[in-house]
Amino acid sequence: MAEEEKKSLLGKAAKAGERVVELGAEAARLKVRASHAVEDTMVEARRLAKRGRYAAEDLVDDATYRIKRDPLRSVVIVSVVA
Distances (CA, A) of 5 to 1, 12, 18, 65: 6, 11, 20, 90
Q: Is 75 or 21 the better-scoring residue by pLDDT?
A: 21
How confident is the model over 20-29, as pLDDT tens digits? Answer: 999 999 999 9
The model's pTM is: 0.57
Q: 14 falls in which pLDDT band (50, 70, 90)? A: confident
Structural domain spans, the chain: 3-81
Taking the C-alpha atoms of residue 18 and residue 13, their distance in angstroms, rounded to an integer, is 9
* Per-residue pLDDT, 2: 76
How confident is the model over 34-46, as pLDDT tens digits? Answer: 999 999 999 999 9
